[in-house]
Structure 1
Amino acid sequence: MHPSPSVLTSALYTVRNIVTGDDVQTQCVISHQALPCLSKLLTNNYEKSIKVVACWIISNITARNEEQIQAIIEANIIAPLVHLLQNAEMDIRKQAGKAISNAASGGTHDQIRFLVSQGCIKPLCDLLYYADPEVVKVCLQGLENILKVGEADKNMGITGGVNLYAQMINAAKGRESIEYLWYDYKKEIYEKTLKILKLLKQSSILQG
């Protein structure tokens, strides 16, 4: 990668513009080996603005299709994203949260199980307290899909009759984070919180 931060930033914004196109344009970025470069940007000591744009690019890719989500997984990008979601400055955390949540919203059950195995639940729940409404909405959708996979696993008898992901959300104080949103956000987000709390109740984690 180019050693000049200004050149690197310009290149990243160009890539970001490409991945805001369609799936074919996004696949061109993947096919030209952009993902290993993005992984290095997340894990090495680059300035905040560069990490923000890198996460933004990844969030656009994870908003695409299952194959492109899988490419992100196979490039070993999920663990660095989760680390940033837990530990970085808020601007980076927001974009990392969108990237993880988009993958959880559009991924297969196996892909969502992998996201959970990388520790995404607690930092997503924590982000609900601080993020803006757009990010909150994406995070809620991701958590809802994670819960649905946990419920499917429960119903198939994989997890001993319990929704393990509901337990993990509850242990991460996700219920408190979600209920907090009742008071501060618009109707669309309020309704999404009710859906998630209903899923938690159905899983027998919440009692009424």
Structure 2
Amino acid sequence: MLQTTNPLTLLALLAFTAAPTLAAPSPPSSTTSFLPIHTDPPLPSIEGVTLSSLRHSGPGCPPGSVKAGLVPPHNWDVTLLYDTSNFTVSTDALTTSTCTSTFRLDYPAGWRFAVTTSAYEVAVDSGFDVRVKASATYGVEGVDASANNEGVISGSASGVHIVPDWKFVSMLVLSPCGATSGEVTVDAKLEIEGTAVGEATLQGQELGISWVPCP
């Protein structure tokens, strides 16, 4: 059965609102830093969430170039870290790159989850008139639907950017009740266009995952 709802409806069901914090939690490796992520807990609290079985493929992520981890201290949200030498686009060479990552979340019985927010960490080196777009589609095992969101950087914007400032995804896809694990698929895409010389690298993504008690 299709388990979807629109953002406004699901917000009424959730027990917290996602909001970024200024301090970034410690990453599981020294590859790069986590992005800032919300830390407000769901109520009632869920414990015992684990992440496993990471797989990835695509021109932006050759074997061994992606790492995934749960965000401490609560371990409810997910960070994907990309090898910065691979997930890169430029106006004078490869203008589009993609990566598909799949991982499994294991969790206690009586819960379901949805990817509700997402942000991208993008490093840009460009002149004027360059537009960079980071986007992704999110799917959940057992649900015949997907959600997406994107962040855009325009103009002369050299530096590291976090976009789109914790924008909610287009449609919130809830995992089925009755399960204690589920795979999440993330199809990430990075694009660049413009008349000036420019380069952009997708360094990481953070997925804000909302946990909802089953009725």
Assess same fold via TM > 0.5. Answer: no
TM-score normalised to the size of structure 2?
0.22
TM-score normalised to the size of structure 1?
0.23
Q: Tell me which of the two structures has the higher relative contact order, counting C-alpha pairs closer than 8 angstroms and 6 or more residues apart.
A: 2
Larger helix fraction of residues: 1
